[in-house]
Amino acid sequence: MKKISASIHLFVLAIIFMAALPIQAQTPSDMNRFIDELMGRMTVNEKIGQLNLVTAGEATTGSVVSTDVEIKISEGKIGGIFSMTTPKRIRAAQELAVNQSRLKIPLIFGLDVIHGYKTIFPIPLGLAATWDMGLVEETARIAAVEASADGLNWTFSPMVDISRDARWGRISEGSGEDTYLTSRIAEAMVHGYQGNDLMADNTLMACVKHFALYGAAEAGRDYNATDMSLHRMYNEYLPPYKAAIDAGAGSVMTSFNDINGVPATANKWLMTDVLRDQWGFGGFVVTDYTAVNELIDHGLGNLQEVSARSLQAGIDMDMVGEGFLTTLKKSLDEGRVSEADIDRACRRVLEAKYKLGLFDDPFRYCDESRAEEAILHPAHLAKAREAAGKSFVLLKNDGHVLPLKKSGTVALIGPLANTGSNMPGTWSVSADLEHTPSLLEGMREVLGNRVNIIHHHGSNLLEDADYQERATMFGRAIPRDNRPEEAILAEAVAAAQQADVIVAALGESSEMSGESSSRADIGIPAIQQRLLAELLKTGKPVVLVLFTGRPLTLTWEEEQVPTILNAWFGGTETGKAVADVLFGDVNPSGKLPVTFPRHVGQVPLYYSHKNTGRPLADEQWFQKFRSNYLDVPNEPLYPFGYGLSYTTFVYGDVTLSSDSLQSIGSLAVSVEVSNAGEYTGEEVIQLYIRDVVGSVTRPVKELKGFRKIRLEPGQSERVTFKLTVDDLKFYDAHLDYVAEPGEFVVFVGTNSRDTREARFVLAD
């Protein structure tokens, strides 16, 4: 841990929560005049150069690495670089641009700062489980402070793709299945990254991704096609992107998938008609990694053809593939694109650089002393530990096994018990893995000598060595024990027999979810399940600490294991945070942002489904000629919004200020919540509505509000929500945004399943 003076400590804390004032006031007219003058001096080739984004290769997220970068910078053929870090390296690249290129146009520098920079916070799906928008914004603010101190000014985040298919690996990188929750998180993250002023040197320009519908890839297979109705698109999948844009996000990234037959990167309806004309987006659009080139495999033509089509669709910057750089001039000469097309894209890139203050000071992000002060600051690590503890979801606690006593002997067993490099989770490309404690190390640091900890790895992560190698990419492999499984199990059981309680650290490794990490079987790997079965046979209390980047099928575990704590991947301070929760220093308060299925055959599975014309009767899992399965219930194992606590929260009846809502005005929805247990705890009160009769079919429930409160034992609080007509609006069959008069049900409760309800009418 760094030792920093009190004055520096206060300084760093101050810059986390406020952006510095700009050096000089700038107006849109100032920017327009500046860019008009600059573009008047640019050649066509220099304009095209601004549309070229290359990688420096520090964190490669695709199969292509850029070449001859220094020469191209000097020749004005590069507009930005990603995967280059540190003020020293970035200054050197920026000096090439502003000293050797003809027009001295500065570069923009980006990176996938997804859930923290060096201080890593829970994976986005875990952060969503906190249901704490202030905390989410703080994590993005800290990420911006650290990343900008290391020379960066652009992040490819937030990822706001709705996903309802746990097979899709990148579900870990988003906020889950719900439109409303994801929209609120999108706003919070944009505000955290961009602060109050992008010209401040401690902010990052946000990039909303992946536009659009990427999380709805067919069969949960990454990069696959997406096909859905406009009605579903506008009501369920597009709102989070719009929320981020309305919050001021400066850039947007395209998705890999096609949308109703046209890949996003070449989809003019999506990139221009919706994004620009309907939503009024004024920033710039960048492709995902080599997305222009991949249009060839989509079947849209050769590189020149797909590059021209992408530009005309509304794309402004080409990531890595260099299709724009190598073909647009030829397309211009042949009349396939116009200079106005090129000018439009170039202007948007230059505007982004202007808004970041790079023309005023190209080296504003290159102060090496800032990196020394800000990165991995103790205050940042403390916030990471808090965020991790709040993200964990207690799925089961029969017999009140948790919290554990800070005495006796604990057997910590499992392949994920002593692997610090896996704790940050996927998409933590800049993490300091050498200084990330494992669960074992975190428990020992938190507990000291008060608890005797016996450790054994228990089993290999997976059975097949080759699969293990693929599933633990980027140097985060778990050492493999090549002895017979029976011998390893015997040792693990012998260790467990010496303990008072067993903590089993099982699940996925960090890279078993994330990009290009789809899984058809979303259960705990069989070899680990066999270990768990043997541990249960000891008769000792067993606590399953589950590491995962997606919902897993835990039907057997729910039946057999008394206590299950879902830890996701909690970031840099995961090990300590898990110890905090296991031993009662932190009362778990996380709530699932995504439904956990009983069986993979149920997916896609989500709470806000339609009722169908043949719904099942309540509390019945099979009826003939109804919309159901023959072999499993329709209901999930754990519903959206679910999560237990060490204490007990009791809900009173839902009361309404009126039995009708007028077109102008609001309706107050109130409920009293009491802490009837023995521990101080936090509870997320969730409000859902149902439109009973509509011109189109409507979901059985939709989240429309939530509040997180903290209650002492015996304390009660009345929580009130205000509903307005805007909360009842949706896109109808004509894509008009309307609220239709009629009856509504309002539900309030601890999750999407366990609620109390009341009814009201929206008046004509």
Structure confidence by residue, pLDDT tens digits, 224-245:
999 999 999 999 999 999 999 9
Residues comprising the chain, all counted: 764
Helix or strand (DSSP H, E) at 343: helix 339-355
Query: How high is the mean pLDDT of the chain?
Result: 94
DSSP state of 218: G
Active-site residue, from 132, 165, 258, 288? 288
The two three-digit tokens of residue 764, written as one number: 């004509």
Residue 219 predicted with pLDDT over 90: yes
Per-residue confidence band for 26, with pLDDT thresholds at 50, 70 and 90: low
Chain centre distance of CA 191:
15
- The one-letter amino acid code at 363 reads F
Neighbours of 447 (CB within 10 A): 18
- pLDDT for the residue numbered 24: 39
pLDDT digits (tens, 9 = 90+) for 539-573: 999 999 999 999 999 999 999 999 999 999 999 99
The two three-digit tokens of residue 662, written as one number: 């007028």
- pLDDT for the residue numbered 58: 64
Closest CA to 671 of 754, 588, 762, 581: 754
Q: Where in the chain is the domain with CATH 2.60.40.10?
A: 647-762
Neighbours of 558 (CB within 10 A): 16
Helix or strand (DSSP H, E) at 564: strand 563-566
Closest CA to 19 of 150, 155, 203, 149: 203
* Residues 764, 749: Cα–Cα separation, whole Å: 29
Q: Does residue 403 have a cis bond before it (omega within 30 degrees)?
A: yes
Token look-up 């054994």 returns 456
Determine the average pLDDT of the residues in 707-736.
98
Q: For residue 722, report the phi and psi dihedrals to the nearest 5 degrees.
A: -115, 120
CA angle 528, 534, 536 (to 5 degrees): 105
SS3 state at 263: strand
Q: Where in the chain is the domain with CATH 3.40.50.1700?
A: 391-600
Bridge partner residues of 452 (DSSP): 409
Query: Which range, of 124-138, 333-347, 469-483, averages the lowest pLDDT?
Result: 469-483
Strands 702-711 vs 681-691: parallel, antiparallel or unpaired: antiparallel
Q: What percent of the chain has pLDDT over 90?
A: 90
The alpha carbon torsion through 344, 347, 351, 353 (nearest 10 deg) reads: 130
Encode 522-544 in three state secondary structure.
CECCHHHHHHHHHHHCCCCCEEE
* Residues 651, 574: Cα–Cα separation, whole Å: 32
- The one-letter amino acid code at 455 reads H
pLDDT digits (tens, 9 = 90+) for 416-470: 999 999 999 999 999 999 889 999 999 999 999 999 999 999 999 999 766 555 5
Closest CA to 222 of 161, 295, 155, 299: 161
165 included as an active-site residue: no
Determine the average pLDDT of the residues in 500-512.
97
SS3 state at 331: helix
Residue 762 predicted with pLDDT over 70: yes
pLDDT digits (tens, 9 = 90+) for 150-159: 999 999 999 9
Per-residue confidence band for 250, with pLDDT thresholds at 50, 70 and 90: very high
Record: fold of 391-600: Rossmann fold (3.40.50)
Chain centre distance of CA 518:
16
Chain centre distance of CA 341:
33
* Residues 120, 570: Cα–Cα separation, whole Å: 8
* Residues 615, 635: Cα–Cα separation, whole Å: 12
Token look-up 């939530």 returns 706
Q: Does residue 308 have a cis bond before it (omega within 30 degrees)?
A: no
Query: Please, how many CA atoms are within 13 Å of residue 244, restricted to the half-sphere of its CB?
Result: 36
Could you please report the per-residue DSSP string of 410-444? Answer: EEEESTTSS-GGGTT-SS-TT--GGG---HHHHHH
Residue 123 predicted with pLDDT over 70: yes
* Residues 564, 549: Cα–Cα separation, whole Å: 16
For the chain, first and last CA: distance in Å?
Answer: 63
Report the CATH architecture of 62-372.
Alpha-Beta Barrel (3.20)
CA quadruple 723, 727, 733, 736: dihedral positive or negative?
positive
Domain 647-762 in CATH 2.40.40.20? The answer is no
CB neighbour list of residue 474: distance below 8 Å, 6 or more residues apart: 511
User: Quick one: 693 exposed, middle or buried, by C-beta within 10 A (0-12, 13-18, 19+)?
Assistant: exposed
pLDDT digits (tens, 9 = 90+) for 575-613: 999 999 999 999 999 999 999 999 999 999 999 999 999
* Residues 434, 750: Cα–Cα separation, whole Å: 39
Q: Does residue 599 have a cis bond before it (omega within 30 degrees)?
A: no
- pLDDT for the residue numbered 468: 57
pLDDT digits (tens, 9 = 90+) for 140-173: 999 999 999 999 999 999 999 999 999 999 999 9
Taking the model in full, what pTM does it have?
0.95
pLDDT digits (tens, 9 = 90+) for 349-399: 999 999 999 999 999 999 999 999 999 999 999 999 999 999 999 999 999
- pLDDT for the residue numbered 14: 47
